Amino acid sequence: MKIVFLESHLVTLNNDINYSKLEALGDYSAYQLAIADDPMPYCEDVDIIIAHKMHMTRERISQLVPKLKYICEAATGYNNIDIQAAKDYGVRVTNIADYAKYSVTQHIFALTLAFATKLREYDTAVKEGLWQKSNTFDLLLYPTFELYQKKIGIIGFGSIGREVARVAESFRMKVLAYDIVDISKSGYKNYSIDDILRESDIVVLCCPLTESTRNLIDEKAFKKMKRSAILINTARGGIVNENDLANALNSGLIAGAGFDVLLKEPPTEGNPLLDNEVKNLIVTSHSAWSTRESRQRLIDWIADQIKAYINGEELTYIV
């Protein structure tokens, strides 16, 4: 079978990833396309497409069948693929669900601890010479807090959400979990989103971006949260209304937010969270998933899925 990876460069940093498992599958080609590029010339007569962020629309899928048989999403989220179109045309789709759960969880707590310890603020104060001028052994300018006994609300309790819960337990936090499916076998109670918003000290978004989660966290949601609450989003930008978040932070409706995702990435046309001096906000560049270990795991698991598909073995298909 002919296999193409449309955006292989998005997984590689300074040639640090080994692609040998993919290359061993046979007729494999890798390209470095941007989202704005037209992928169609690279997909002619292709059986399997590996896509990362490239939009696989109904129009594109319709032009590639019946030769196209399988799209492998090289990520957890698959909102860039028209799933209904793939179903209508008989194209199988899989994603890679668990590869980044340790990396993303690590990033979630890095953001959380930055707020808890005022890490950025104290680093800046020391570099500006304020500690050197202190008349005591320390410099206490900013209120900090312990995670111990705080409530962490996790919206979306899949593999990443459950790993966040496991780490939160090590801080002796109380976990409030929510998912659209039954999570009773996980050992956690399924709280309502309203209960999570009202009770949590830290709210973490681990859910996919769907029509039901788009703008899930908006002005009404912020008004339900504690004024001391911190919102962490490493999932998808569209889950939170960015204008409402900027207003909530600037007006003190919530105490802070740590974001690794934005509605449009990269934010070439501006963004309300970046264009103004929004208070108590940390933004990173969709990098939570990107440890070397995570990226190598992604490539290896893509190869395993494609090999299983070629051999007719059982896979967990989205469609």
Name the residue among 128, 150, 156, 160 with its Cα closest to residue 141: 128
Same domain for 143 and 247? yes
Q: What is the pLDDT of residue 91?
A: 98
Q: What is the pLDDT of residue 79?
A: 86
For the chain, what percent of residues have pLDDT higher than 90?
Answer: 95
pTM here is 0.91
If asked whether residues 156 and 55 sit together in one domain, one would say no
112 lies in the same domain as 63 = no
Residue 267 maps to a domain: yes
pLDDT score of 160: 95
Q: How confident is the model at residue 27 (pLDDT cuts 50, 70, 90)?
A: very high
Q: What is the CATH number of the domain that holds 80?
A: 3.40.50.720
Residues 165 and 77 in one domain: no
Average pLDDT over residues 63-81: 94
Residue 318, in any domain of the structure: no
- Residue range 203-224: average pLDDT? 96
Does the residue 261 lie in any domain?
Answer: yes
Give the integer Cα–Cα distance in Å for 91 and 228: 47
Residue 76 scores a pLDDT above 90: no
Could you give the angle at the alpha carbon of 274 between the alpha carbons of 10 and 220, nearest 5°? Answer: 105
Q: Does residue 48 sit in the same domain as residue 149? A: no
Among 28, 90, 63, residue whose Cα is nearest residue 71: 90
Query: Within a domain: residue 317?
Result: no
Predicted pLDDT of residue 276: 83
Residues 18 and 45 in one domain: yes
Could you tell me if 169 and 252 lie in one domain?
Answer: yes
Distant-in-sequence, close-in-space partners of 220: CB < 8 Å, separation ≥ 6: none
Q: Does the pLDDT of residue 46 top 90, yes or no?
A: yes
- Residues acting as catalytic residues: 236, 265, 286
Average pLDDT over residues 60-72: 98
Tell me the sheet residues that pair with 217: 240
pLDDT tens-digit readout, 235-276: 999 999 999 999 999 999 999 999 999 999 999 999 999 988
Print burial letters for 266-294: b (CB count within 10 Å at least 16), e (below 16).
ebeeebbbeeeebeebbbeebebbbbeeb
Q: Is residue 210 part of a domain?
A: yes
Read off the pLDDT of residues 136-194 as tens digits, 9 standing for 90 and up. 999 999 999 999 999 999 999 999 999 999 999 999 999 999 999 999 999 999 999 99
In 3D space, the residue among 304, 282, 256, 293 whose CA is nearest the CA of residue 104 turns out to be 293
Q: Which of 207, 200, 270, 281 is nearest to 247 (CA)?
A: 281
Average pLDDT, the chain: 96
Residue 166 lies in a domain: yes
Q: Report the C-alpha gap between 256 and 152 in whole angstroms.
A: 14
82 and 197: one domain?
A: no
- 50: in domain: yes
Number of domains in the chain: 2
If asked whether residues 231 and 153 sit together in one domain, one would say yes
Same-domain pairing of 132 and 276: yes
C-alpha dihedral (168, 98, 232, 35), degrees to nearest 10 = 170
Top-confidence residue, 291 or 210: 291
Q: Write out the residue range of the structural domain in which residue 87 sits.
A: 2-99+292-310
Note the pLDDT tens digit of each residue in 297-309.
999 999 999 999 9
Asked whether residue 208 is domain-assigned, the answer is yes
Q: 141 and 190: one domain?
A: yes
Same domain, 45 and 77: yes
For residues 130 and 195, give the distance between their C-alpha atoms in angstroms, rounded to a whole number. 42
pLDDT tens track for 93-149:
999 989 999 999 999 999 999 999 999 999 999 999 999 999 999 999 999 999 999
pLDDT band at 77 (very low <50, low <70, confident <90, very high): confident
